[in-house]
Amino acid sequence: MDIIIAQNFLTEVYTGRKRAMATFERLIRRSHCRYIVFVDNMYDKVRELMNELSGCLNDKGLTRHRAYAATATIRPNFRLPQVMQQHHFTGEDGLIPRYSVKFHHMVLEIAR
């Protein structure tokens, strides 16, 4: 395996920082991956964890350089099906379709 992708994973574990960092350290040490790609929800705490994780792994010599989380915005290139627009996204209970998606991302190159 050359690449590991952690999508919307840090949102679930950012409150247990030490455990999350230990998990990624074990993952790097046990696998043969060359890259870990993070794509996660645009929360400040998630971005902080990404940067902290990058620094910790780099300090331990597990990555080639210290990476920093970046933020991007994309606009999906497809329309929602009409039935979803009519029934699921009515504006009630905050269910409003998003036209832009904002997220944090970071790539760690593993030192091999």
Domain ranges of the chain: 3-73+101-109
Which pLDDT belongs to residue 78? Answer: 75
Cα separation values, 11 from 2, 7, 73, Å: 24, 9, 18
- Positions of the chain with pLDDT lower than 50, given as ranges: none
Taking the whole predicted model, whether its pTM rises above 0.85 is answered as: no
> Quick check: 69 and 10 in contact, CB under 8 A?
no
9-28: per-residue pLDDT in tens? 898 888 888 999 999 999 99
Give strand pairing partners of 40: 104
Distance of CA 70 to the CA centre of its chain: 10
Which pLDDT belongs to residue 54? Answer: 97
Which pLDDT belongs to residue 73? Answer: 93
Which pLDDT belongs to residue 91? Answer: 66
Which pLDDT belongs to residue 92? Answer: 66
The CATH label, of 1.10.3470, 1.10.1660, 3.40.50, 3.30.110, for the domain at 3-73+101-109 is 3.30.110
